[in-house]
Amino acid sequence: MNRLPAVDVAAIELVRVRLPLVTPFRTSFGVQTERDALLVRVLAEDGPGWGECVTPATPVYTEEYTDGAAHVLEHVLVPVLLRAGRRLHAEDVAPRLRGLKGHRMAKAALEGAILDVQLRAAGRSLATHLGATRDRVPAGVSVGIPDGGIPELLELVAGHLDDGYVRIKAKVARGHDAQPMQALRARFGAALRLQVDANAGYDPDAPEDVATLDALDELELVQIEQPFAPDRLLDHARHAARWRTPVCLDESILDVARAVEALELQACRIVNVKPGRVGGPLESVRIHDACRDRGVPVWCGGMLETGIGRALNVAVAAMPGFTLPGDTSASGRYFAEDLTEPFVLRDGHLAVPDGPGIGREPRAEMLRTAWRRQVRLP
């Protein structure tokens, strides 16, 4: 990555928008019917740059949640960032905020927005900047836990396969796990690229949970994602050693140091990289590089992002180490109208934006419709 010229930041705005989801998304931690998103708009001479904070509305996935992120951005992160000077590189964000613990999703939105401004000023796309080697990325899709049980699950998956998605990730939780996944195998056969995501919902010491996961291990899955709590790396390693199916970690991977630790402990063989969860695009590159050096495949997760966050994810997913399809679904999977020009599924792939920066910005009329409130920090 070449170092880009710094930009002079005039102001930073926090823009809150709300978009209804086309269908409710149900996981082990509840049901989501809308995306209440917090955007960061960095104003600079060469025009605005955009970042999206991927926090969910409540702290169900990690500690972070949207009202908390909005508060810490307004009252702590942005003031501290700007106090040290307004001439900024994206590389300055993490070091300037290092003394402030956690809040990686909030920090990631800031870093992403500043990088977007820098790239726009330089007339370079994010994908080019990151050394992307593809102009389109294969798209997987994440399937929630349907109200209608197995029949509805089969129908949903059939629909996604008809749309062209190249792999299915199914959410599993106690009461919705081995049986529905067996039903998917029975219906769609061995050719279905199927993986499961437990969102840390199982107990490594509970015999019934272990029996369930052992049954999932029989199903030729691409991976079992995050079966246990994020900090239980040794428990992941203990069970991963018995399973044929590779374990993938998501919530556990907070930064490159934790990724390396997880790999050295053999807690996982695959890493889910989410730029939001790990503090931004720059740490995502470091995780990508560390995994690539070790021959470990990575893929890009999703957090129901609007087109702003999705654009970042798609550029990241175009880097060479992203050898597994990600949760980089088309806009239409979640939104009737995306905030930005939509991402469209073509032949199972999304095109990587090639315009300057992330290559997407909110459409004025959509921003008006979805807008809820805004804070400007001078």
**By the criterion CB under 6 A, which residues form the site for ligand NPG?**
56, 61, 142, 197, 199, 250, 301-305, 327, 329
Burial per residue of 182-211, b for 16 or more beta-carbon CB atoms within 10 angstroms, e otherwise: ebbeeebeeebbbbbbbbbbbbbeeeebbe
How far apart are CB 374 and ligand NPG at their closest, in Å?
A: 23
* Torsional sign, CA 285, 286, 292, 293: positive
Rounded CA separation 125/101 (Å):
31
How far apart are CB 225 and ligand NPG at their closest, in Å?
A: 8
Token code pair at residue 320: 């060479």
The one-letter amino acid at 40: V
Q: Is 101 a catalytic residue?
A: no
Alpha helices in the chain (DSSP H): 66-72, 78-83, 90-96, 104-122, 126-130, 149-163, 178-188, 207-216, 233-240, 256-264, 281-293, 307-317, 364-370
How far apart are CB 29 and ligand NPG at their closest, in Å?
A: 8
How far apart are CB 197 and ligand NPG at their closest, in Å?
A: 6
How far apart are CB 140 and ligand NPG at their closest, in Å?
A: 8
Rounded CA separation 56/23 (Å):
16
How far apart are CB 97 and ligand NPG at their closest, in Å?
A: 22
How far apart are CB 250 and ligand NPG at their closest, in Å?
A: 6
Token code pair at residue 120: 């726009």
- Tell me whether strands 371-377 and 7-27 are parallel, antiparallel or unpaired: antiparallel
Residue nearest to ligand NPG (CB): 302
CA angle 127, 275, 335 (to 5 degrees): 85
CA angle 138, 302, 229 (to 5 degrees): 125
In terms of CB distance, is 50 or 165 closer to ligand NPG? 165
* Torsional sign, CA 10, 16, 22, 25: positive
From 101, 107, 169, 274, the catalytic residue = 274
In terms of CB distance, is 62 or 128 closer to ligand NPG? 62
Rounded CA separation 375/189 (Å):
52
* Closest alpha carbon to 24 in 147, 141, 140: 147
In terms of CB distance, is 231 or 264 closer to ligand NPG? 231
Length of the chain: 378
Q: How far apart are the first and last CA of the chain?
A: 30
Q: Provide the 3-class DSSP secondary structure of residue 275.
A: coil
Q: Is 171 a catalytic residue?
A: yes
In terms of CB distance, is 278 or 304 closer to ligand NPG? 304
From 101, 107, 169, 171, the catalytic residue = 171
In terms of CB distance, is 35 or 96 closer to ligand NPG? 35
In terms of CB distance, is 199 or 212 closer to ligand NPG? 199
Q: Are 329 and 142 in contact (CB under 8 A)?
A: yes
In terms of CB distance, is 85 or 159 closer to ligand NPG? 159
As annotated, the active-site residues are: 171, 274
